[in-house]
Amino acid sequence: MASAQGYPLLCLENPILDIQAVGLFSDKALLDKYGLKDNDAILAEEKHMGLYDELLGRNAKIIAGGAAQNTARGAQYMLPDNSVVYIGCVGHDKNAETLKEACEKAGVHTEYRVDDVQPTGKCGVVITGHNRSMCTHLAAANEYKIEHLKQPHVWSLVEKAQVYYVGGYHLTVCVPAILALAEEAAAKNKIFMLSLSAPFIPQFFKDQLDSVTPYTDYIFCNETEARAFSDSHGWDTHDIHEIAKKLSQLPKKNSSRPRVAIITQGTLPTVIAVGKASGEVDVTAFPVREIPKSDIVDTNGAGDAFAGGFAAGIVQNKSVHESVDMGSWLASLSIQELGPSFPFPKKTY
Ligand code: 26A
C-alpha cells in the first residue's frame, strides 16, 4: 500500500536485474567474444543474447539493478522512512519479484507497470579490474507507458512528490512519461533531475534528450557522458569545466531555479556549475571521498549511488556542496559492495 502522504522523491526508469560475473569468471576474453568495450553501457543486439546464459553458467551473481532504481534505493538509504517511490515496467515473472523485494528491503515503494508479454529486463555486467561493461536487454522495461503514470493512484503520487529523478536511459523508452513529470515540476516550481546515464544517450538519443533538458534543474553525468554530449552538440570542447558551464547555460523552462550541472570524474574532483539569473556561472570542483583502491569491490552503480546521495541531500534542503558530499559518501560505500548495493546494517552519514 502506498503511503497516504506520498513520497517526496519520485524516480522513473528501467527496472533491470543485473547478472554480474565476478573474479576469474569475468575477463577480457568474454568481452571480446561479445564485442564489448571494457567500460561501456549498451543496448543488447541479437549477437549479445547468449551473454546472459553464459554469465549464469559462469557463476554470475544476480543483483537488483536498473540505474535509477539503484539511485532510488541509495536515496532512501540516507532518508527517513517512506521517502522514495520508484516507477518502471517489469514482466510477470520471478525476476520482477526479486526486484520488488530488493526495493522493499531498502524501503523503496514501487509502482511497477507489469507487462504480460515481455520478461523483466536484464543487464549482463562484465567486470574487469575497476571497469564495468554493461549490456542491457530491456524487454519489459521497454514497455513502460504513459497511461500507467496517468492512472489516478499513480498520478496522485506524482502530484505529492517534490523532487523527480529520471534516469536518462528512460529516454530510449517513454519520453512522454518523462515530459509529464518534467512539466509537473516546472508548473509547480518543483525539482526535476536527470542523469545522462551513458554516452550513447547524447549520441543516439539527442532529440529525445534535447526535449527534456530545458526542464532540468539538476543534470548529472560523468566525464565520458559529458564529452559525448559536447560532441553531439558541436561544442568543440572536451574541457570538463567548460562543458559543465555550457550545460548550466542551456535554455531553461522554469526560471525560478538555477540550472546546476554536476559532472563526476571517478576519483578526480566533481565539477559543479551553477547558472545564475544574470547569465554568469559559478564553476567549482569538489573532491571525492577516496577510499583505498584495495577496498574497491566493483564500480558498478557508483554513479547511481552518487546521484542517490545527492538527491537525498536536495530532498532535505541541503546545499549543493553538502549534497555532493553526501553523494560521494554513498558512492564510496557502494563500490565496497558487490554491484549496485549498500551495506547493511546501515551506516550513517
Ligand atoms: C537502457 N539501458 C541500457 C539501461 C541500463 C541500465 N539501467 C537502465 N537502462 N543499462 C545498464 N543499466 C543499469 O546501470 C546500473 C549501473 O549504473 C544496470 O542495471 C546497473 O545496475
Q: What is the pLDDT along the chain (349 residues), one digit of tens a residue?
A: 788 899 999 999 999 999 998 776 668 899 999 999 998 999 999 999 999 999 998 889 999 999 999 999 999 999 999 999 999 999 999 999 999 999 999 999 999 999 999 999 999 999 888 888 999 999 999 999 999 999 999 999 999 999 999 999 999 999 999 999 999 999 999 999 999 999 999 999 999 999 999 999 999 999 999 999 999 999 999 999 999 999 999 999 999 999 999 999 999 999 999 998 788 999 999 999 989 999 999 888 999 999 999 999 999 999 999 999 999 999 999 999 999 999 999 999 9
What is the spatial distance between Cα 136 and Cα 179, in angstroms, rounded to a whole number? 24
Confidence (pLDDT) at 1: 79
Cell (9 digits) for 258: 538555477
Give the mutation target among 126, 133, 135, 136 for probing the ligand 1 site: most ligand atoms within 8 A of CB. 136
Q: What type of residue sits at position 5?
A: Q
Ligand 1 contacts CB of residue 16 (under 6 A): yes
How much distance in Å is there from the Cα of 66 to the middle of ligand 1?
5
Residue 300: other Cβ atoms inside 10 A: 28
Confidence (pLDDT) at 25: 66
- Residues 272, 260 contacting (CB under 8 angstroms): yes
Helix intervals (H) in the chain: 28-33, 51-57, 67-78, 94-106, 146-149, 152-160, 175-187, 200-204, 206-212, 223-232, 240-248, 302-315, 320-334
The answer to whether ipTM exceeds 0.90 is yes
Cell (9 digits) for 116: 504480460
Q: Whose CA is nearest to atom 14 of ligand 1?
A: 67
How much distance in Å is there from the Cα of 258 to the middle of ligand 1?
28
Ligand 1 contacts CB of residue 230 (under 6 A): no
Whole-prediction pTM value? 0.97
How much distance in Å is there from the Cα of 277 to the middle of ligand 1?
35
How much distance in Å is there from the Cα of 234 to the middle of ligand 1?
27
Confidence (pLDDT) at 136: 97
Ligand 1 contacts CB of residue 172 (under 6 A): yes
- The residues, ordered by sequence, that sit 6+ positions from 57 with a Cβ below 8 Å of its Cβ are none
Ligand 1 atom closest to Cα of 197? 17
Confidence (pLDDT) at 24: 63
Residues in the chain: 349
Ligand 1 contacts CB of residue 65 (under 6 A): yes
Ligand 1 atom closest to Cα of 17? 19
Range 187-221 burial, b when 16+ CB lie within 10 A, else e: eeebbbbbbbbbbbbbebbeebbeebbebbbbbbb
Cell (9 digits) for 47: 549477437
Peptide bond into 345 cis (omega under 30): yes
Confidence (pLDDT) at 344: 92
- Residues 74, 167 contacting (CB under 8 angstroms): no
What is the spatial distance between Cα 278 and Cα 257, in angstroms, rounded to a whole number? 12
Q: Mind telling me the catalytic residues?
A: 304
- Residues 237, 230 contacting (CB under 8 angstroms): yes
Ligand 1 atom closest to Cα of 172? 1
Ligand 1 contacts CB of residue 115 (under 6 A): no
Give the mutation target among 71, 197, 203 for probing the ligand 1 site: most ligand atoms within 8 A of CB. 197
Ligand 1 contacts CB of residue 112 (under 6 A): no
